[in-house]
Amino acid sequence: MMNASDNQTGLKYLGNTRKYNDSVVIVMKGHYMELERILTVFTTIDLSNNMFEGEVPKAVGELHSLVGLNLSHNRITGTIPLTLSNLSNLEWLDLSWNQLKGEIPMALTNLNFLAVLNLSQNQFEGVVPTGGQFNTFENDSYAGNPMLCGIPLSKACNGDKEREARPTLDEEESGFGWKCVMVGYACGMMFGIILGCSVFFAGKPQWLASLLKPC
């Protein structure tokens, strides 16, 4: 998987005898699939539903031809290694139902072929990365991580709440906000109506004439 090549001629399968061929059932992009014969260029790791413990090996990031990685339903701890961002051919990643923690590395947004992501039911925290393929993932990809926040989750981050409550820069510089503008507009309208009625019924009031009289 470190140096797999797609340039081989013809299809080659695992198994050297006619009486026996390797077969396996894998979870590919969230769907169960049975492979009656396994291609030698098939670059997928599925170690789900075991009792594996420890951290995700950093050496996994050296498997540059890896297309799919499924380590779900284990007891894996630690954080997501940054080396996973080197898997440029990765199309699906499933780390759900483990005990992973920490932040989701922003470097994973560089995985341009990542079509399916499942990080649910862990202990991740912080802001959900945005950009690249991460803009296509829905809330289900992060379910069961109560400490996560940001898009596409309904839980906003603290920084977003502060920005909503904080007045804009224009309001801070001018010293007043839209509420003051609305109050001034209402008062001006009432004064205009009163003045207009006064002119209409009284003709040209003396006090108004004195204001308009040139010096």
> How many whole angstroms separate alpha carbon 30 and alpha carbon 131?
22
Q: How confident is the model at residue 126 (pLDDT cuts 50, 70, 90)?
A: very high
SS3 sequence of 74-96: CEECCCCCHHHHHCCCCCEEECC
User: What CATH code is assigned to 24-165?
Assistant: 3.80.10.10
**pTM for the predicted model, two decimal places:** 0.63
Name the average pLDDT for the chain. Answer: 77
pLDDT at 135: 95
| 162 Cβ contact partners less than 8 Å away, ≥ 6 residues apart | none
Domain ranges of the chain: 24-165, 169-212
pLDDT at 137: 95
